[in-house]
Chain A
Amino acid sequence: MSSIFSLTMLAESIRIAVPYTCAAIGGVWAERAGVIQIGLEGILLTGAFTAVAVTHATNSPTLGLVAAIGAGIALSLGHGQLTERARVHAVISGIALNLFALAATRMGLRALYDSASNSPGIEAYRFGPTGATGGAMLLRVLADPVFFLALAAVAATPFLLQNTRFGLRVRAAGENPVATASVGISVTRVRLTALAVSGAICALGGAHLAYDQQRFESGMSAGRGFIALAAVVVSGWRAGRAALACLAFGMLEALQIVLQDEVRKTAIGDLIQTLPYVATLLVLALAPRRAGAPEGLGKHAAD
């Protein structure tokens, strides 16, 4: 059991938490601006695929990262165009976005690599010391440029939302779109800008997921976008707390990996894999009822 309290465990938890955190921060940006965004899952997946496809083609993980962010922004803005301009119901648009991302990435796998399941391996970022000790692993996780960008996003989000003119407008559009529009601010424009930020940060998480595995696998986001949404809800739509919730999740998942070998022999067996999802359900069931949701979530300035 000593393996549970170790540097290895900490490194694993942080590494696993990054995609969750990026998606959750993306969720905070979209929903604080008043746009329901259940398409985070699809953006994670598309980000992962784009990052791998471009890295594979150019041998540059940096170009892959830039392309992933671009794809994330494009999808997120697509969602915004549908919900804010065409007034499609945000949940329907989000479901379609997720289905589209799953199908399009699978089609991409077939088209580019003639495979139904995964891409060929890629050479992602390699920084930090080599070696299998916990300390070396932790340093490698922390030296990853994608992790650094994610950390910057976590740190900058509360500051931008609370202390800048743009952040104020985002919150106003999310809390009361009608009042916001009445003082001459374009709610649609504010929301689309917030969605672009949301898509960029979420796609970052997708790139981290793919670079971590050094390849793309069909459906590799595996519900992370939805767990991230749960983190947003539990945190009361606050970025810092959402990031902490995601870190707690990373720990749970790391714990599950450590326990897997021991538990597999018992009757619980593979059910240990359900630990993160059961935990999410429990937290949602026990958390206070919808505290902190933006008042104007899903509402429009004029209809």
Chain B
Amino acid sequence: MNDKRVRALLPIVLAIAGGILIFNLIAFAFGEAPASALRLAFEGTWGTPYGLGQVLFKATPLLFTGLAFEVALRAGLFNIGAEGQLALASLVGGLVASKLPASLPMPIALPIVLATAAAVGAFVAFIPAILRARRGVHEIITAIMVNRIVDAILPWTFSTVLGSSTLRTADIAPGAALPRLDRVVPSFAGSAASFAFPLAVVIVFVAMALLERTRLGREIRWVGFRPEACRAEGIDVERRLLLAMLLSGAIAALAVSSTALGYKGYYELGLGAGAGWSGIAVAMLGRGKAVGIVLAAIFLGTLEQAGLAVNARVPKEAMDVLEATLIVLVAVASRVAFKGARAATNEGPEPAPPRDKPTPTPASEEARS
């Protein structure tokens, strides 16, 4: 293996090793023998086909939210509003799916629901996006405000607009439902993994390839780190920022496929909550590569499922502590590896953008390292 690949993998290995160490410390603090807690965690996840299916189920929304954070990060934006984007999109998507006629075939029903959800997700992302592009207001502050507003809109929609006594939609039309994976892998029986997982993996690979290979994808990246140079080149910076954020919101919204469509068969308040935050960890661990994002989502899905497996003895919240720590660990570890790489080769890690004398670090790399 060459040096470059080792340097790319080293931060992940270091971060995961640190993560296991911290998990052991937490388990120990709760009076558990570390090895036994680890064994319990393993048995509940990769130890059985059911556990594995649950891991894939937990990983699916994270694939979407991780990709969403990555897309915005390419433009130097931090979309921490995925939580609200996904929630409102899931509500509207679930409502639309429940209103569709039962006879509508899947090739028509599913795209309608997914497109609706994506549009709502983009709409929710539009508010921080336009304020950032036009007014220069940092998207982090505004995205949190929007999240809080969505938090209030959801129960209000159920109680006031729909006059419903429950906080859930009606069952979705059969054509909008994604079948479970146990249809093709019988041993997953009982687990909630659905065809949303392969769908998500395909979307991650396609989106990442488009970001790398298309002009628009490259422009999104350039505006993130050299807005002035891009303006001089005639690239409409504001429009690219806006687009990256809307795209990010739309992708986050697609996570509804794994919750309402692939799992419950309806949307209820709180379904999919938390995926927006975990997506940030997925993008950080994924290192800007499609394979990385998929592996990171599966890893964090494993953590979530493992949390449930050990919950009786070590609180599952320990896994969230671990997740936050991993974000920092991988950033520190890659900073060290990044510094080493620069010292060794004495050049930047990225190809130079147009008309740029020194090789700068793209915003996404800057944030990751």
A binds B: yes
Known: A86-B332, A229-B141, A274-B149. A100 touches B155 (CB 8 A): no
A87 to B338, CA, bound (A): 11
A222 to B144, CA, bound (A): 10
Give residues 146-167 of B contacting A (CB, 8 Å).
146-149, 152-153, 155-156, 159-160
Cβ-closest chain A residue relative to B134: A285
Q: Which of B199-207, B218-226, B317-325 contacts A (4 or more CB under 8 A)?
A: B317-325
Residues B131 and A91 in contact, CB atoms below 8 Å apart: no
B120 at the interface (CB under 8 A from A): no
B136 at the interface (CB under 8 A from A): yes
Choice from A91, A93, A270, A274 contacting B159 with Cβ under 8 Å = A270
Residues A280 and B328 in contact, CB atoms below 8 Å apart: no
A residues in contact with B28, CB < 8 Å: none
Residues B30 and A271 in contact, CB atoms below 8 Å apart: no
CB distance from A33 to the nearest CB of B (A): 18
B residues in contact with A93, CB < 8 Å: 328, 331
Residues A103 and B323 in contact, CB atoms below 8 Å apart: yes
Residues A89 and B141 in contact, CB atoms below 8 Å apart: no
Q: Which of A14-22, A64-72, A104-112, A192-200 contacts B (4 or more CB under 8 A)?
A: A104-112
Residues B140 and A281 in contact, CB atoms below 8 Å apart: no
A260 to B335, CA, bound (A): 50
Residues A104 and B335 in contact, CB atoms below 8 Å apart: no
Cβ-closest chain A residue relative to B155: A270
Known: A270-B155, A278-B149. A103 touches B320 (CB 8 A): yes
B367 at the interface (CB under 8 A from A): yes
Known: A223-B145, A270-B152, A281-B145. A289 touches B135 (CB 8 A): yes
Residues A103 and B321 in contact, CB atoms below 8 Å apart: yes
A286 to B293, CA, bound (A): 38
Known: A89-B367, A271-B153, A274-B149. A281 touches B142 (CB 8 A): yes
CB distance from A53 to the nearest CB of B (A): 15
Give residues 19-52 of B contacting A (CB, 8 Å).
26, 29-30
CB distance from A195 to the nearest CB of B (A): 16
- Tell me what chain A mostly uses at the interface: helix, strand, loop, or mixed: helix
Choice from A99, A229, A273, A284 contacting B152 with Cβ under 8 Å = A273
Interface range for A: 35 or more
A159 to B147, CA, bound (A): 36
A82 to B335, CA, bound (A): 11
CB distance from A293 to the nearest CB of B (A): 10
A269 at the interface (CB under 8 A from B): yes
CB distance from B229 to the nearest CB of A (A): 19
Over the window 209-223 of chain A, the binary record of Cβ atoms lying under 8 Å from chain B Cβ atoms (1 yes, 0 no) is 000000000000011
Cβ-closest chain B residue relative to A288: B135
Residues B135 and A96 in contact, CB atoms below 8 Å apart: no
Give residues 271-327 of B contacting A (CB, 8 Å).
277, 280-281, 284, 315, 317-318, 320-321, 323-325, 327
B residues in contact with A132, CB < 8 Å: none
Greatest chain A CB density within 10 A among B80, B323, B368 is at B80
Known: A96-B327, A100-B321. A111 touches B140 (CB 8 A): no
A87 to B141, CA, bound (A): 22
A278 to B153, CA, bound (A): 12
Give residues 82-121 of A contacting B (CB, 8 Å).
82, 86-89, 91-93, 95-97, 99-100, 102-104, 106-107, 110-111
B residues in contact with A271, CB < 8 Å: 152-153, 156
Residues A226 and B317 in contact, CB atoms below 8 Å apart: no
A281 to B142, CA, bound (A): 6
A107 to B314, CA, bound (A): 9
Cβ-closest chain A residue relative to B332: A86
27 of the cross-chain contacts (CB-CB < 8 Å) are A86-B331, A88-B328, A88-B331, A89-B369, A91-B140, A92-B327, A95-B78, A95-B80, A96-B324, A96-B325, A99-B281, A99-B324, A103-B317, A106-B317, A107-B317, A107-B320, A111-B29, A222-B148, A223-B147, A267-B160, A270-B159, A274-B153, A277-B148, A278-B149, A281-B131, A284-B131, A290-B136
Q: Which 5 A-B pairs have the closest CB atoms?
A: A103-B320, A100-B324, A99-B324, A107-B317, A110-B315
